Amino acid sequence: MTRLREQALRQPAEAAAVLDEARRLRTDLYACLTDPQDGRAFKSVAGAVEDAARLSVFTRGEDGLGRWQPSPAAGLRLPVCAVARNAGELLADPRRFTVRGCPSPDCGWLFLDESGRRRWCSLATCGAKRSAWDLSDK
């Protein structure tokens, strides 16, 4: 990350463009996960996933397993490429339909609800706040 930080300081215009790209990806991925019918958002995320695939290399890990990783040639886009690849994996996984939104009005986080019974992004944060509110109303 130090290398990326230094590169961003040397290339502030490119860093700003990559930050905008990351924000668009976040917005479109959120739309894909909260509205599976949003074709525009899906196409946008798919484009980012395809770009990330072009900027990836297949390497062998210490455990002997192969894995795709963003190429160092991705430069400042390396973190965006990593997120885009993971987004593509999630959108290709049936578990994407278990993504739920936290009902807390000041949260907005998404989470995987594989049990089908989960309500909060985190019981320790939003769930605990809601429980405290419920108790104070009694």
Q: Output the CA–CA distances (angstroms, integers) from residue 102 to 12, 30, 36, 85, 120, in the order listed.
A: 35, 13, 17, 24, 5
| Mean pLDDT estimate for the chain | 91
Burial (CB count <10 Å: 0-12, 13-18, 19+), residue 37: exposed
Average pLDDT over residues 82-88: 96
Rg value, the chain, Cα: 18
Token pair recorded at residue 13: 């215009």
Q: What is the mean pLDDT of residues 105-133?
A: 81
Domain ranges of the chain: 1-92, 97-138
Contact 60, 70 (CB under 8 A): no
Residue 132, CB half-sphere, CA atoms under 13 Å: how many?
Answer: 8
Give mean pLDDT, residues 78-89: 96
